[in-house]
Structure 1
Amino acid sequence: MPNHTEPKLIAGNANRPLAEAIAQRMTMHRGVHTGLVDARVERFNDGEIFVEVFENVRGEDMFVIQPTSNPANDNLMELLIMADALRRSSASRITAILPYFGYARQDRRTKARTPISAKLVANMMVEAGIERVLTMDLHAAQIQGFFDIPVDNLYASPIFALDIQAHFRGHMEDLIVISPDVGGVARARELAKRINSPLAIVDKRREKPGEVAEMTIIGDVRDKTCIIVDDMCDTAGTLCKAAAVLIENGAKEVHAYITHGVMSGPAAERVANSVMKSLVLTDTIQPAPAVIAARNIRIVPTAPIFAQAIHNIWDGTSVSSLFEHTTLAPIYESLYAVA
């Protein structure tokens, strides 16, 4: 069915720089100016969130850009209230753009009498009027099934593959991809396949939550440049310890590629003082000043892939085409040389 409306973007306060970058990329893709809808998302003195949209959105295809990162509850409520405001203003469709989906780690009952908070959040989004979700690297793939609406899950691995090919050109044969735990093997294997590298695993054992008692390397990393890949880095304790264990086992260098830089507490300082040569994060979560200042942390943009995905959703074309190198490379050609 042909579209009779223009895609309209609106953003909360969670990651304004990313939202503005997506709008700029949309303008480049379409050759038509695409800005953020004029609105205010503010708080009353008691912390309640208030949203007012200053432009007419009746019948419009709306895309709400709002990662539900720290502070997760405030950013989630902003998203829900913006969706309610748009629904009550007669928007034709509301798509939530969640570069980072908060509460994703609570995707199952690990003990008796515990919640499945990711499912609760999904229910709240649907109830608020959200009709479609676009996100990146969900912590667990089954979360897509928590929604009764379409969910498009983008992957950072194609972007990471482009970055690795650009920064390790001429040394690709020395690389080995590392999964930081057994649960992340599928994600690591996907990247390893893209860059044609072998795979190793860090087997970690915990005595209690948050504390790693022992780490064992499954695979030969001697004289290799190790690429640790994971979906998120929170306090960076496990990541830095894994890097140290890899060096102890004969690795030449250790680099890490992480999609979501939660980077809580002393994470940036830990990474800066670690044996890692570099930690590459995406900008799905707005980096804190300490992260930006860290000598060995680098940020890669996600605006190009999100802008193209939004355009494809609006235009009714394939989003899964963005999983392929041949489709994604031209979108990032200004950053990486296209082979």
Structure 2
Amino acid sequence: MILPGSASQSLAAALADQLDEPLAVVETEHFADGEFKLRVPAAGGDLAIIVAATTSAEAHLELLQLQDLAREAFDEVVTVLPYMGYARQDKSFRDGEPVSARAVARALSASTDRVVAVNPHEPAIGDFFDVPFDVVDAAPRLAEPLPDLDDPLFLAPDEGAIGLAETVCDAYGDGSTDYFEKTRSYDTGDVTVEPSGTEPAGRTVVLVDDIVATGSTMSAAIGQLHERNVGEVYVTCLHPMFAANARSKLADAGVAGVWGTDTIERPASAVSVAPTLADYF
């Protein structure tokens, strides 16, 4: 049985269809003091696959409740994290700070037999879990919504993410890759961001990233690319968080199209990772 978190209902339904598994209907009861309680009337069986992106504090608590009820009603529990909140807080940056990713991982390990994550920002967070932790790679699916492009340039936000751009480029079947390099002016202190070794002028550019959160870095990169007289600029990302006015920033910067996956369900979530997850199971 597939148990969906409220932030992952479409993905959970798609995975249930892929696996030909029943999809649970999760009921939620809210109380006057702000607490809530979940109920799955038909819970029970051999295997529960919980699909829950933890995009908020409430989503984290909801997942803990789903795990607890599944632990009691099913023989085996697998937790799928399409997007894991706090995964970028994988170390303490100043004295007196927690390692938030570790705290979350320990909590999520208590009532599950296995955790499956879709392209976590730092795969090393798997070491924080007390149960087996597997990563599935949905990056090739980012090539699917792209239109027909002639020799596009796939750009990663930095050198560490060049592998992501290469994966999408290979899946698309055409083009080349590069990454952005930051240069600071000694005279003014201004920072420019440009491809490290490729001349982008006249070319169509596809910006590839794992997460777009505020959109500030991405929109600045789009603006600087247009100053270099590139053709159209597209954005594709695994986890389209698009907090606050991020989508408006991209539009104002002159993006020609934006696509993400349904690891976080947003209007731009044009690509489902359900087939990738189904292959895992």
The alpha-carbon deviation at position 196 of structure 1 amounts to 5.0
CA distance in 1, matches of 2:101, 2:22: 31
For the residue of structure 1 that corresponds to 2:223, the secondary structure is helix
Aligned partner of 2:187 in structure 1 is none
Q: 1:298 to 1:79 in 2, by over 3 A?
A: closer
Q: Relative to structure 1, is the Cα distance of residues 193 and 12 closer, same or farther in structure 2, using a 3 angstrom cutoff?
A: closer
Post-superposition offset of 1:40: 1.7
TM-aligned CA deviation for residue 269 of structure 1 = 1.5
State the alpha-carbon separation in 2 of the partners of residues 151 and 43 from structure 1.
32
| Residue identity opposite 2:178 in structure 1 | A
Q: TM-score, with normalisation over the residues of structure 2? A: 0.89
Residue in structure 1 matching 2:10, options 12, 17, 27: 17
Partner of 2:24: 37
Q: Would the aligned equivalents of 1:49 and 1:77 in 2 still touch at CA under 8 Å? A: no
Tell me the residue number matched to 1:197. 175
Where 2:205 maps in the other structure, the secondary structure is strand
Identity %: 28
Asked if 2 retains the 8 angstrom alpha-carbon contact of 1:65 and 1:97, the reply is yes
Equivalent residue for 1:121, pick from 86, 90, 104: 104
Any conservation in 2 of the 1:201–1:217 contact (CA below 8 Å)? yes
Label 1:56 to 1:190 Cα distance change in 2 as closer, same or farther (>3 A).
Answer: closer
Question: 1-side partners of 2:108 and 2:196: how far apart?
Answer: 41
Asked if the contact 2:28/2:36 (under 8 Å) is kept, the reply is yes
**Equivalent position of 1:79 in the other structure:** 63
Question: Number of paired residues?
Answer: 274
| Paired residues for 1:266-277 under 5 Å | 266-277=245-256
SS in 2 for 1:35: coil
8 Å CA contact 1:13, 1:41 repeated in 2 = no
Choose which of 69, 72, 79 in structure 2 pairs with 1:88: 72
1:230 is matched with which residue?
Answer: 209
1:1-339 → structure 2 map (5 Å cutoff): 8-27=1-20, 34-57=21-44, 59-69=45-55, 72-89=56-73, 91-127=74-110, 129-164=111-146, 167-168=147-148, 171-172=149-150, 174-194=151-171, 195=173, 197-204=175-182, 213-219=191-197, 220-287=199-266, 292=267, 297=268, 299-309=270-280, 312=281
Unaligned runs of 5+ in 2: 185-189
Structure 2: which amino acid aligns with 1:256? V
Stretch of structure 1 that moved more, 219-228 or 179-188: 179-188
The separation in 2 between residues aligned to 1:298 and 1:22, in whole angstroms, is 15
Q: Which runs of 4+ in 1 moved over 4 A?
A: none
SS of the counterpart of 1:273? Answer: helix
Shift, 1:77, TM fit: 0.6
